[in-house]
């Protein structure tokens, strides 16, 4: 992996990372969101000073608009009165909206260099999601051609970091090829994922997730990825989880002009709100009624500021989750906040292989894993150790002891419940001992100390049928491995600690499958009551 | 139902309500949280003026401490420099902490009246959750005795609203009897649920939920209910959903003194945070590092203010959810934020009968119901119409047509999919037509317009095995009703629209059960392809 001198990764969880992107005007901590700033000051209701005071260390403006209004004579930082990081877009969005603009690619790239842009973008050809395939092919080809066409300028303008937007839109095969070819072009530091704005506006999050995963599957981890037009907190955690580092949007002001109030759980119309479900400085000071009674300009400005505070809050939540290694839990929570977020989550789940391939280790600072929802079965912090156990499983002894239900005391190897059962069954013979735990799977006793087998918090009431079934199949896999290896010589003891209602169901199902497979002769079931009194018994156990 | 002149209910969802509690110093909008204020000004870091500016229109202080420090010579509003609503507690908490206090019940009640308290509390005997049963019995009896003992004072002090704390703690039978007896005592406006502070501190939310449900099951809806010591945003939505109207706590400052930062998703230690996952005025201005570098007093004050902003934000979120009739969805989301919240939710689910009995109608302003998680099967906005259909089900015709899979176009009766199938099967015979929809159940076609059959948003990807099984049993129930009534004369057609993968699974399971029950001869399965081409076929359908 090539480490870029200008992009340092400080922390990772899933494919998300907290990074430092170094520009000539300062360092941006990623994931970062650039608010779009109109270069015409009288049209920018929230001033650049106000943005800076809110905590924005970087903004994005439009080089084409600067050019059209004769504002390219001076350094862009002076023009916008902003001393932080300034990214400039090229006018591609205007191209998409209005069909044509009166400047060519090389000229707009040159201008961005001349005005001292910290991060610049070539004049790409955006893909509209409703575009027919041949038009998308043209976007891909022409954008790549333009990226090549500008190589000499970008390579001679090293003080600016250059973004190469990747086109292809919802045509994932085109997007994949475009990504592969883009990574071959020298001179660019950041890759961009072009124009999902219309998809985002229509909350078609599943498409965006597919697009991000496709590009991230090819662009190497060391390179930052920019998602153009992402300005709703509902998409941010999912985009970041798949490796998006930078985002920008004008949604905060577009929504505000339309009277829309952004929350982390969806968008409301101002007139439908009786309360502001937020504690930002705007919402702590005003009520919806106050805003309704203001002038349009004042109202839009305050709404825009609230919308921006909400985006900042979402980003800080995501970063906090990355730092504590609980981004997956955070995604599950966010998924339950809105149908569109759930669709994003369900789509993200399809790319878990990519996540595990790219990030096969667990953040050493990860806190205890929370196991209290079905979706946790997909948590890489569960999957990775389960895969490791599966891969390293080697039946050593012909005596297999599986304990089910000793989940309270941790580490298992120090639990009185485990100790007394093992003592009873293994004091004269050598045994392989496994503990079967919902979500966590079949854990070799000697792995008790490994993360997350002692670092987890299970809500027993959340052990649903699906979770029981998952565990049942894992236990069955384990049993079959021993039966395959030792045939008639294996002695398997399955000990169920009758402390929870799911255990009964578990044992009953397991017995059913074991009978179907005709392997009952090797297996003895035991039940152990709460006081650790043991019985040899066939499920279903009497009460 | 007796309507109290001082408590008006404006809006309801589940057992939660938005109300107006009228006191002599102003109206409190409920659900409301009273921050605990130390009557000694130099000990109160966040001043009453600051509390008022943050949006607190009421505070709670301690009448016993006022008395002990000789501060009962003047109106409590002047003593605390606070013109809003002041509730006073009686010193019961001090009694619990220190065992004995040097004042009796009648005197402290009298004092609260004299100092102009807006809401006062008798000197109850708190229940500690670890108390043995005989001690709890004493708390119950002595508290009730004291409530009676003070009747003449409270009845002669009508300018103060009086709270009767109900004891019993985790002994739900005692709590139930105590509630019944408490409601017989005249003079009191508000009921209190005593001393769950230690349970709350230990995040034993399931116990609190049981206690609240027990009391709410007896205390009539028109009476406000106060939960003593509830000061963590994780418990607020669940407590409010079961009908808690008022809360108070000193947690904001106790946590702050201990360097703990409260969030709506749990509590962090300040030193573990790199970011503030919040946008309140404190967190928008400072970083964790800034706070770490401050003096202890400054840090504690800012942390306390943040903690209070977080509680306010939670309350405004809950109220917004009540207003839009989506409190259940909100609870599901919050349940996924923390294991303790999930335990609270799972416990609340056990009391759905109480919820439906007390609130059998759907808020007419309720928005579309979100159906994208397993837990929505318990949403009263789904359960109530399902129960209504079940109760009013009357097989009229001997031709039963059940459509499965036409869930895109709404209302169903206007859907092309439904129309063309009904036309094919029912143009010569009279039919009873039902649409079977995950979560929603079996809907008579003529009920298409009823809430929520056209007012819902389903995420198809979230239709899990459990949801399919639920629907399968509902369809089976429907089928059996017709078979029972018409025996061999009934003709049942089950038409599966093969648009989604769950349909295949559904039909396969249904066929299995139908065969087991030996009722196949009345039933014909059809499958309909996307283009509405129909086939008579037995599941599993070929692809």
Instruction: Assess B349–A contact: CB distance below 8 Å, yes or no.
Output: no
Residue A313's pLDDT band (boundaries 50, 70, 90)? very high
CA distance A338 to chain B (A): 8
Q: Does A339 sit within 8 Å of B310, measured CB to CB?
A: no
Interface A-B, measured as beta-carbon pairs within 8 A, has a size of: 130
Interface test with B, best of A275, A324, A452, A463 (most B CBs within 10 A): A275
Answer yes or no: is pLDDT of A280 > 60. yes
**pLDDT over 90 at B320, yes or no:** yes
Note if the bond before B102 is cis, omega within 30 degrees: no
**Which residues of chain B lie closer than 8 angstroms to A313, CB-CB?**
277-279
Residue whose C-alpha is closest to residue B251's, from B240, B236, B239: B236
Closest alpha carbon within chain B to A465 = B466
Q: What is the pLDDT of residues B429-469, one digit of tens each?
A: 899 999 999 999 999 999 999 999 999 999 999 998 889 99
Q: Do A339 and B370 touch (CB under 8 A)?
A: yes
Structure confidence by residue, pLDDT tens digits, A135-168: 999 999 999 999 999 999 999 999 999 999 999 9
- Is the predicted pLDDT of residue A339 greater than 70, yes or no? yes
Q: Is A408 left (phi over 0), alpha (psi -120 to 50) or beta?
A: alpha
By the CB < 8 Å criterion, does A457 face chain B? yes
C-alpha to C-alpha distance for B112 and B118, rounded to whole angstroms: 9
- Catalytic residue status for B89: yes
Average pLDDT over residues B403-408: 84
Annotated catalytic residue within A11, A13, A75, A89 = A89
Q: What gap in Å lies between CA A347 and CA A205, rounded to an integer? A: 9
Q: What is the largest CA-CA distance in chain B?
A: 90
The pTM is what? 0.94
Four-point Cα dihedral B252, B253, B256, B262, nearest 10: 0
Tell me if A51 sits within 8 A of A74, measured CB to CB: no
Distances (CA, A) of A251 to A63, A199, A255, A295, B430: 19, 13, 6, 21, 54
d(Cα B270, Cα B276) in Å, to the nearest integer?
Answer: 9
Instruction: Return the higher-pLDDT residue of A504 and A258.
Output: A258
Residues in CB range of A350: below 8 A, 6 or more apart: A213
A336 and B273 in contact by Cβ < 8 A? no
CB atoms within 10 A of CB A149: 16
Out of A55, A316, A373, closest to residue B336 by CB: A373
Q: What does the alpha-carbon distance between residue A466 and residue A375 come to, in Å, rounded to a whole number?
A: 10
Min distance A268 CA to chain B CA atoms (Å)? 10
> A458 has which bridge partners?
A371
Q: Measuring CA to CA, which residue among B252, B268, B248 is closest to residue B190? A: B248
Q: Do the beta carbons of residue A335 and residue A341 sit within 8 Å?
A: yes
Distance to chain B for A68, nearest Cα, Å: 36
- Rounded CA-CA distance A77/A37 in Å is 12
pLDDT score of B3: 53
* pLDDT exceeds 80 at position B471: yes
Q: A470 contacts in B (CB within 8 Å)?
A: none
Which of B336, B379, B407 to mutate: most A Cβ within 10 Å? B336
Answer whether residue A9 shows pLDDT above 70: yes
> Are the Cβ atoms of A372 and B342 closer than 8 angstroms?
yes
A86-100, A125-139, B361-375: segment of lowest average pLDDT = A86-100
CA distance A276 to A243: 32
Q: How far apart are the first and last CA of chain B?
A: 60
Residue B322, number of CB atoms within 10 A of its CB: 27
Angle, to 10 degrees, between the axis of helix B133-149 and the axis of helix B172-182? 10
User: What span, in angstroms and rounded, lies between the C-alpha atoms of B448 and A67?
Assistant: 57
Q: Provide the shortest C-alpha distance from residue A377 to chain B (in Å).
A: 14
Contact criterion met (CB below 8 Å) for B231 and B267: no
Minimum CA–CA partner of B334 in chain A: A333
The answer, for B218 touching chain A at a CB cutoff of 8 Å, is no
**Taking the CB of residue B276, how many other CB atoms lie within 10 A of it?**
25
At a CB cut-off of 8 Å and minimum separation 6, what does B534 contact? B421, B424, B495, B526, B527, B528
Query: Residue A426: left if φ>0, alpha if ψ -120 to 50, beta else—which one?
Result: alpha
Interchain proximity B265–A336, CB inside 8 Å: no
Of B461, B506, B372, B374, nearest in space to A374 by CA: B374
Q: Are A327 and A350 in contact (CB under 8 A)?
A: no
For CA atoms A7, A11, A12, A17, give the dihedral sign. Answer: negative
Q: What is the pLDDT of residue A538?
A: 66
Residues A355-372: tens digit of each pLDDT: 999 988 888 888 999 999
Contact B274 A337 (CB under 8 A): no
B283 vs B274: CA distance, rounded Å: 12
**CB of A537 within 8 A of CB of A527?**
yes
- CB contact under 8 Å between A284 and B370, yes or no, is no
Query: Can you tell me whether residue A233 is helix, strand or coil?
Result: coil
Average pLDDT over residues A418-444: 92
Provide the β-strand partners of residue A355: none
Distance from CA of B464 to the nearest CA of A (A): 9
Which residues in chain A have their CB less than 8 angstroms from residue B464's CB?
374, 466
Q: Whole-number mean pLDDT of chain A?
A: 92
B407: Cβ–Cβ under 8 A, 6 or more apart, which residues? B435, B437, B438, B458, B460
Q: Which of B13, B74, B89, B274 is catalytic?
A: B89
For residue A268, the surrounding DSSP H or E stretch is strand A266-269
Q: How far apart are the C-alpha atoms of A478 and A465, rounded to whole Å?
A: 20
Q: Which residues of B touch A333 (CB under 8 A)?
A: 265, 333, 336-337
Chain centre to alpha carbon of residue A368? 19
User: Residue B161: what are its φ and ψ, rounded to 5°?
Assistant: -90, 135
B54–A284 CB contact, under 8 Å: yes
Look up the ipTM and state it: 0.93
pLDDT tens figures, A451-473: 999 999 999 999 988 899 999 99
Question: Do B105 and B150 meet the contact criterion of CB atoms below 8 Å apart?
Answer: yes
- Is it the case that residue A292 has pLDDT exceeding 90? yes
Distance CA B222, CA B208 (A): 21
- What residues of A are in contact with residue B373 (Cβ under 8 Å)? 336, 342
Left, alpha or beta for A216 (phi > 0: left; psi -120 to 50: alpha)?
A: alpha
d(CA B497, CA B512): 19
Q: How far is CA B194 from CA A373, B130, B211, B479, in A?
A: 32, 14, 10, 50
User: Average pLDDT, stretch A82-111?
Assistant: 87
Pairing of strands A456-458, A7-13: unpaired
The more confident residue out of A11 and A427 is: A11
Distances (CA, A) of A263 to A303, A326, B278: 11, 22, 13
Measured between beta carbons, which residues in chain A are less than 8 angstroms from residue B274?
A: 319-320, 323
pLDDT of residue A1: 47
Q: Where are the alpha helices (DSSP H) in A267-325?
A: 281-285, 288-292, 296-323
| CA–CA dist A412, A405 (Å, integer) | 11
In DSSP terms, B389 is beta-bridged to: none
Which residues of A are less than 8 Å from B283 in CB distance? 316
Which residues numbered 187-206 in A keep a CB inside 8 Å of some CB on B?
A: none
- Contact at CB, B313 and A279, closer than 8 angstroms: yes
Mean pLDDT for B153-169 is 96
Task: Say if residues B478 and B402 touch (Cβ distance below 8 Å).
Answer: yes
Residue percentage of chain B with pLDDT more than 90: 76
List, as ranges, residues 279-338 from B with C-beta within 8 Å of A. Answer: 279-281, 283-284, 309-310, 312-313, 316-317, 319-320, 323-324, 332-333, 335-338
How much is the pLDDT for B384? Answer: 94
Distance separating alpha carbons of residues A61 and A77, to the nearest angstrom: 11
Sheet holding B7-13, edge to edge: B7-13, B16-23, B26-30
Strand residue runs (E) in A338-413? 369-371, 399-404
| Rounded Cα–Cα distance for residues A242 and B220 (Å) | 51
3-state secondary structure of B3: coil
What was the pLDDT predicted at B542? Answer: 45
Q: Which residue of A has its CA nearest to B469?
A: A465
Rounded Cα distance, B116 and B72, in Å: 10
């Amino acid at each position: 992996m090539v480490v870029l001198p200008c992009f340092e990764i400080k922390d990772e969880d899933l494919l998300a990372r907290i990074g430092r992107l170094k520009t000539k005007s300062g360092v941006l901590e990623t994931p970062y969101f650039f608010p779009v700033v109109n270069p015409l000051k009288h049209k920018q209701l929230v001033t650049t000073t106000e943005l800076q005071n809110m905590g924005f260390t970087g903004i994005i403006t439009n080089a084409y608009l600067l050019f059209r209004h004769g504002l390219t004579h001076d350094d862009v930082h002076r023009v916008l009165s902003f001393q932080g990081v300034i990214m400039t877009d090229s006018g591609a969005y205007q191209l998409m909206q209005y069909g044509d603009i009166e400047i060519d690619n090389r000229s707009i790239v040159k201008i961005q260099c001349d005005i001292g842009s910290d991060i610049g973008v070539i004049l790409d050809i955006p893909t509209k999601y409703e575009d027919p395939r041949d038009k998308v092919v043209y976007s891909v080809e022409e954008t790549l051609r333009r990226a090549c066409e500008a190589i000499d300028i970008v390579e001679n303008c090293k003080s600016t970091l250059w973004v190469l937007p990747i086109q292809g839109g919802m045509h994932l095969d085109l997007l994949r090829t475009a990504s592969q070819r883009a990574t071959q072009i020298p001179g660019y530091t950041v890759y961009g994922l072009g124009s999902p704005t219309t998809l985002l506006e229509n909350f078609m999050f599943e498409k965006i997730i597919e697009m991000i995963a496709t590009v991230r599957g090819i662009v190497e981890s060391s390179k930052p990825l920019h998602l153009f037009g992402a300005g709703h907190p509902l998409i941010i955690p999912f985009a970041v989880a798949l490796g998006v580092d930078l985002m920008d949007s004008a949604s905060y002001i577009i929504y505000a002009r339309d009277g829309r109030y952004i929350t982390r759980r969806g968008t409301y119309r101002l007139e439908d709100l009786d309360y502001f479900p937020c504690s930002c400085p705007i919402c702590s000071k005003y009520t919806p009624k106050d805003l309704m009674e203001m002038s349009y300009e004042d109202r839009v400005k305050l709404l825009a500021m609230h919308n921006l505070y909400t985006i900042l809050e979402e980003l800080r939540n995501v970063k906090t989750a990355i730092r504590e290694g609980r981004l997956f839990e955070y995604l599950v929570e966010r998924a339950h906040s809105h149908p569109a977020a759930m669709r994003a989550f369900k789509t993200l789940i399809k790319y878990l292989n990519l996540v595990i391939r790219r990030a096969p280790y667990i953040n050493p600072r990860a806190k205890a894993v929370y196991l209290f929802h079905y979706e946790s079965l997909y948590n890489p912090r569960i999957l990775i150790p389960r895969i490791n156990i599966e891969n390293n499983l080697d039946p050593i002894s012909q005596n297999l002891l599986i304990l089910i239900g000793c989940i309270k005391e941790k580490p298992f190897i120090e639990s009185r419940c485990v100790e007394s059962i093992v003592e009873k069954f293994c004091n004269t013979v050598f045994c392989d001992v496994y503990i079967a735990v919902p979500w966590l799977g079949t854990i070799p006793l000697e792995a008790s100390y490994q993360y997350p087998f002692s670092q987890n918090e299970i809500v027993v009431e959340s052990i649903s049928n699906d979770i029981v079934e998952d565990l049942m199949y894992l236990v069955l896999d384990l049993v079959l491995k021993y039966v395959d290896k030792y045939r008639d010589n294996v002695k398997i003891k399955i000990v169920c600690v009758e402390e929870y209602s799911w255990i009964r169901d578990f044992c009953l199902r397991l017995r059913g499958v074991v009978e179907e497979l005709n392997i009952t002769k090797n297996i003895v079931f035991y039940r152990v009551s709460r006081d650790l009194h043991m019985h040899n018994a066939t499920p279903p156990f009497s009460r």
